[in-house]
């Protein structure tokens, strides 16, 4: 167990500007109010403030395994890979138990609107033709806080997913537990995130991709600024309890990435086991795997009919979405944010 002495929360919360609030409300990206937190100004929903200190002081176990990322960076893919390696390739359980049951989502409570569960239900029913309130109520446990819910009673090893940056995670995480962080080219993240906001109907995003890019690049999407998020993890990449991965490397050479994760977790795979895991994790099979693609949410009317959780799984797909102005803007944004660091995203050419 880690040091369980409770420490005061070290960061201040402050309001977003009226201009930022107006822009967000105009595009209706998320149905709740935002605050910024800490010196980096990470954008969080107002409800995060209620549990921020509990997360920061979360008692950890040495057997805990965290999978973290800025969202839409390959988190689900990495979660499945990590879980299977740590669970001795138990494909039967992996295929029969939804990933959202195998992992605790640390800040899932942030996704509940300011109106609470009742307001959340109302928003879903307005956005969906086939909303099933009774079935949805059975899933409310996933919308609550794992800090005050199931996390403390989960058997070891606990698998924990989070999109929080390093500074907002439990303070002694790398002194106690293991973490796998996955990063992806921010232009591809933006495209995937855009489709994500259109998939989950409670977000209600109705804008164009260009409008979405403006929000993302302007640090007005959840847990932006993006580069600060990635750089916090990059700075810890040499810690023995941290494994930093690039989505592009998984796409380019999945067997090599599998062995990196296996080595990190102290596991050994033979060639046949590696080939079987590659087959399980192939995008073709992943798209068909109901345990990882949130299809249970579709049955409750939460997902848009014309969007999918697991999409193309490709790298460099941003080129199909960016016009010349956006391309130049993105290149300057990336260059400005990486100029004082040795962080570089793998080429997708």
**What distance in Å separates the CA atoms of residue 208 and residue 197, rounded to the nearest whole number?**
11
CA distances from 33 to 29, 222, 257 (A): 11, 11, 39
Active site annotation includes 163: yes
**What distance in Å separates the CA atoms of residue 334 and residue 214, rounded to the nearest whole number?**
14
This prediction's pTM: 0.88
Catalytic residue, chosen from 163, 202, 217, 229, is: 163
Confidence of residue 302 (pLDDT cuts 50, 70, 90): low
Confidence of residue 311 (pLDDT cuts 50, 70, 90): very low
For residue 189, the surrounding DSSP H or E stretch is helix 186-199
Average pLDDT, the chain: 85
Give all domains of the chain, ordered by start, each with its CATH number.
13-338 (3.40.50.300)
CA distances from 209 to 26, 27, 216, 235 (A): 15, 11, 10, 31
Confidence of residue 2 (pLDDT cuts 50, 70, 90): very low
Confidence of residue 307 (pLDDT cuts 50, 70, 90): very low
Confidence of residue 348 (pLDDT cuts 50, 70, 90): low
What's the confidence (pLDDT) of residue 124?
58
User: 183 pairs with which residues across the strands?
Assistant: 246
Question: 195 vs 310, which has greater pLDDT?
Answer: 195
What are the pLDDT digits (tens) for 194-213?
887 776 555 557 788 999 99
Q: For the chain, give the secondary structure using H, E and C.
A: CCCCCCCCCCCCEEECCHHHHHHHHHHCCCCCCEEEECCCCEEEECCHHHHHHHHHCCCCCCCCEEEEECCCCCHHHHHHHHHHHHCCCCHHHHHHCCHHHHCEECCHHHHCCCCHHHHHHHHHHHHCCCCCHHHHHCCHHHCCCCCCCCCCCCCCCCEEEECCCHHHCCCCHHHHCEEEEEECCHHHHHHHHHHHHHHECCCCCCCCHHHHHHHHHCCCCCCCCHHHHHHHHHCCCCCCCEEEEEHHHHHHCHHHHHHHHHHHCCCCCCHHHHHHHHHHHCHHHHHHCCCCCCHHHHHCCCECCCCCCCCCCCCCHHHHCCCHHHHHHHHHHHHHHHCCCCCCCCCCC
């Amino acid at each position: 167990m880690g040091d369980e002495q409770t420490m005061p929360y070290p960061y201040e919360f402050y309001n977003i500007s009226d201009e930022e609030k107006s822009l967000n409300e105009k595009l209706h990206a998320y149905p709740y109010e935002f605050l910024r937190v800490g010196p980096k100004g990470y954008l969080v929903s107002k409800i995060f403030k209620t549990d921020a200190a509990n997360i920061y002081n979360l008692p950890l176990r040495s057997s805990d395994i965290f999978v973290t990322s800025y969202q839409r960076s390959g988190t689900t893919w990495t979660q499945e890979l990590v879980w299977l390696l740590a669970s001795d390739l138990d494909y039967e359980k992996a295929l029969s138990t939804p990933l959202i049951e195998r992992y605790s989502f640390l800040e899932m409570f942030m996704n509940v609107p300011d109106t609470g569960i009742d307001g959340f239900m109302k928003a879903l029913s307005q956005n969906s033709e086939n909303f099933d309130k009774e079935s949805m109520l059975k899933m409310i446990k996933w919308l609550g806080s794992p800090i005050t819910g199931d996390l403390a009673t989960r058997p070891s090893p606990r698998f924990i997913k989070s999109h929080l940056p390093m500074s907002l995670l439990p303070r002694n995480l790398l002194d106690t537990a293991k973490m796998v962080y996955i990063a992806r080219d921010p232009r591809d993240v933006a495209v995937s995130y855009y489709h994500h906001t259109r998939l989950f109907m409670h977000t209600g995003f109705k804008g164009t991709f260009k409008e979405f890019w403006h929000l993302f690049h302007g640090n007005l999407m959840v847990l932006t600024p993006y580069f600060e998020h990635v750089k916090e993890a990059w700075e810890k990449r040499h810690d023995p309890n941290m494994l930093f991965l690039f989505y592009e490397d998984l796409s380019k050479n999945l067997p090599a990435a599998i062995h990196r994760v296996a080595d990190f977790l102290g596991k050994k795979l033979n060639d046949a086991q590696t080939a079987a895991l590659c087959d399980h994790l192939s995008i073709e099979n992943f798209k068909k795997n109901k345990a990882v693609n949130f299809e249970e949410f579709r049955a409750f009317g939460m997902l848009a009919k014309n969007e999918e959780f697991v999409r193309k799984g490709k790298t460099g797909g941003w080129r199909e979405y960016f016009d010349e102005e956006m391309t130049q803007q993105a290149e300057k944004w990336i260059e400005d944010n990486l100029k004082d660091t040795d962080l570089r995203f793998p080429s997708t050419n």
